[in-house]
Amino acid sequence: MKNENKMLRGKNIVVMGVANKRSIAWAIAKALSTAGAKLAFTYQDERFKDKVKRLVDKEMPGSLLLPCNVAEDGELDNLAARLKDEWGVVHSLVHSLAYAKKEELDGLYADTSREGFLLAHNISAYSLVAAAQRLYPLMSEGGTIITLTFQGSQRVVPNYNVMGVAKASLEASVRYLASDLGPQKIRVNAISAGPIKTLSAKGVKDFNRLLEGVAERTPLRSLATADDVAATALFLASDLSRAITGTVLYADCGYHIMAT
Ligand SMILES: NC(=O)c1ccc[n+]([C@@H]2O[C@H](COP(=O)([O-])OP(=O)(O)OC[C@H]3O[C@@H](n4cnc5c(N)ncnc54)[C@H](O)[C@@H]3O)[C@@H](O)[C@H]2O)c1
């Protein structure tokens, strides 16, 4: 993405959720880095470490790379401690992660298990609160928190099931966090991305069929790409969006306005 004016120069930004180069978080990281931000990447666990390290070393050398499984309070505590040591001040957090068991993303929502419900909400919704509560004390110069959501929070999308319910919780969290943290000049927003082929998306049954249908029906007659979503993230991380908080911005080529 072209961005010559380096509007994020001097900003320290934490990016959570890169699994590979198709990750929405990776597209966002590239846009933020091009705009001059210094980045810290987190990875889920050892399974992801090498791939993320290779990507970061090649394309954004000098960035921090830190482990953080969001299911573990200790790892979130360590993340905040390391960021305090390394940077002192954090300006933005990009929270671009979610998880539900594959079997919950297929068939009836009515069949969701208790364990599957709790897991999806823990990783996909509570993790925003858990990360924000540790990082806002480091946002001493004000800041921005950005998370990723999907329209399945508002309307029924076949097979999205428990993830749609977790995204509704995530969006409500955005509003409560925005209210709590606004007095410290910390803005909290979500981007509702249109469907994009990524590792996580593959977990939703018939995802490819969903993609085809959406592309035909969006007002712009196209699908939003990860780079399109990244452009919205750049806007939300920058001062251009200084009066926007507690909002869900749709980067979906207008799909959410259509009745069918
Ligand atoms: N791909 C889409 O169609 C789409 C649309 C709208 C919103 N989103 C959202 O965008 C975000 C990023 O997803 P993506 O599509 O780029 O897929 P992705 O698979 O590339 O990224 C998901 C990330 O979640 C991380 N993650 C899962 N469990 C974790 C844990 N316990 N601790 C730490 N990290 C964990 C994975 O490591 C991975 O990096 C998610 O919130 C997703 O729901 C995706």
Print the domain residue range for 214: 12-253
Mean pLDDT for all residues in the chain: 96
Query: Does residue 6 form part of some domain?
Result: no
Number of independent structural domains in the chain: 1
> Judging by beta carbons within 10 Å of its beta carbon (0-12, 13-18, 19+), is residue 10 exposed, middle or buried?
exposed
202 annotated active-site: no
Q: Is residue 258 part of a domain?
A: no
43 noted as active-site residue: no
Task: Write the CATH number for 106.
Answer: 3.40.50.720
Looking at the domain assignment, is residue 226 inside a domain?
A: yes
pLDDT in tens, 53-104: 999 999 999 999 999 999 999 999 999 999 999 999 999 999 999 999 999 9
Residue located nearest, by CA, to atom 1 of ligand 1: 196
Residue-wise pLDDT for 140-160, tens only, equals 999 999 999 999 999 999 999
Is 2 within the bounds of a domain?
Answer: no
- The string of DSSP letters for 86-137 reads HTS---EEEE------GGGSSS-GGG--HHHHHHHHIIIIIHHHHHHHHHGG
| Residue 108 maps to a domain | yes
Q: Is residue 4 part of a domain?
A: no
How many angstroms separate the CA atoms of 179 and 229, rounded?
Answer: 24
Nearest of 237, 241, 234 to residue 31 by alpha carbon: 234
Closest-lying ligand 1 atom to the alpha carbon of residue 95: 41
Candidate list 160, 185, 197, 205, residue with the active-site label? 160
| pLDDT beyond 50 at 3 | no
- Give pLDDT, residue 4: 52
Task: State CA 22 to chain mean position distance.
Answer: 13
Q: What is the pLDDT of residue 176?
A: 99
Flag whether 191 is in a domain.
Answer: yes
Atom of ligand 1 nearest to the CA of 24: 16
Residue to mutate (ligand 1; options 23, 66, 97, 208; most atoms within 8 A of CB): 97
pTM beyond cutoff 0.85: yes
Flag whether 1 is in a domain.
Answer: no
* CA count, 13 A, side-chain hemisphere, 147: 33
Instruction: Tell me the per-residue pLDDT of 217-258, one tens digit each, with 9 for 90 and over.
Output: 999 999 999 999 999 999 999 999 999 999 999 999 999 999
Kindly give the interhelix angle for 24-34 and 46-59, rounded to the nearest 10 degrees: 30
